[in-house]
Structure 1
Amino acid sequence: MKVSELKETCEKRVGNFKSYANLSTDEVNNLEKEIGHQFPEDYREFLKTYGCVESGSEEILGYGGPKHLDMLEERKILLQNSLINFQENLCPISRDGFGNYDCLRISNGAADVVWWVHDGNGCIHKIIASSFSAWLDEFCEQAMQ
């Protein structure tokens, strides 16, 4: 799914869609500097178009909206917790309510999406999508339920 199709798709399937901010290119660049990684182009587009999103009971973490949707703050909390192994190249994009996250796993400006599980000391359980755009398809399916 293209990032530009997210709003229309969620509204058709769920009936509601709320985005909170759209970031400028400079704001996205500053966010990348702060985390020390370049986002893949599709997540950059998401941040510039929507910032962060709620649709039905589903959320996509980003930047520029309410604190509970702030990827940067959530990431800082996870990185500071010495009891878990949250890797520095992970950026949480969604949570399941049980302490587990769907995360971008960033490497050289590209990223797949992994399911990070907090059990034990925290680990990547499995790859769930080859890209943020592919992950959006699954997000819309979950938002329908």
Structure 2
Amino acid sequence: MSNIQKAFKIIERNIDEADFVGAVPIEVINNCQSDLNLKFPKSYIEFLSNYGLGDIFGEEIYGLGVEEVGIPHVKWITLELRKDVNLPNHLVPIYNTGYDNEYYCLDCSKISDSEDDNAPVISFISADESEQEYELIEKDFGTFLYKLLKEAME
């Protein structure tokens, strides 16, 4: 079983603790990818297709399925950070750590198609570009979500 499937099991077993908007149509996901001029990794597309966006155990995951007027809308926050703090175009913020404007982002630079899951989760701190370290957090979105939920449950 993949890590994204394990994460979905945690969500389903703890649905009373969760607040997700629900499934997002693939057309909406494709439009967002087109508007951001990049491709999402497979595991993130699965998350959007099943849950859209929302939170569980107080952990908010950015996504799609609500009006595009602020957090947690992934297109809105991506465009805002591109404009305000020069977020590189291949990064997509999916989670705010709560510390010093630090976001965990999908690095979508190597994604070739919708079956590709080669997008590590890295940290981005909206600060001076010369100080940016881009620390690797997890190898993919599914692993990130699974570990985040596992830790949040403990």
Normalised to the residue count of structure 2, the TM-score between the two structures is: 0.81
* AA in 2 matched with 1:39: F
Deviation larger for 107-116 or 7-16: 7-16
CA distance in 2 between counterparts of 1:105 and 1:135 reads 13
CA-atom RMSD in angstroms: 2.2
> Could you tell me the percent identity over the aligned residues?
23
Structure 2, unaligned stretches of length 5 or more? 112-117
CA distance in 2 between counterparts of 1:126 and 1:14 reads 31
Deviation larger for 60-69 or 45-54: 60-69
Residue in 2 aligned with 1:8? 9
Aligned residues: 143
Q: CA deviation at 1:7?
A: 4.3
Residue in 2 aligned with 1:113? 121
Residue in 1 aligned with 2:92? 91
For residues 98-133 of structure 1, what are the alpha-carbon distances to aligned partners after superposition, in whole Å with 9 as ceiling and x for unaligned?
311010000242311001122434624311111111
Contact 1:86–1:123, Cα closer than 8 Å, also in 2: no
Name the SS of the counterpart of 2:17 in structure 1.
Answer: coil
Residue in 1 aligned with 2:134? 125
Residue in 1 aligned with 2:64? 63
1:10–1:25 distance in 2 versus 1, CA, 3 Å: closer
Q: CA deviation at 1:12?
A: 4.6
For residues 2-31 of structure 1, what are the alpha-carbon distances to aligned partners after superposition, in whole Å with 9 as ceiling and x for unaligned?
434434314656951121131111111111
Q: CA deviation at 1:88?
A: 0.8
Structure 1, unaligned stretches of length 5 or more? none
CA distance in 2 between counterparts of 1:2 and 1:134 reads 5
* AA in 1 matched with 2:34: K
CA distance in 2 between counterparts of 1:105 and 1:43 reads 12
Structure 1 residue ranges, 4+ long, deviating more than 6 angstroms after superposition: none
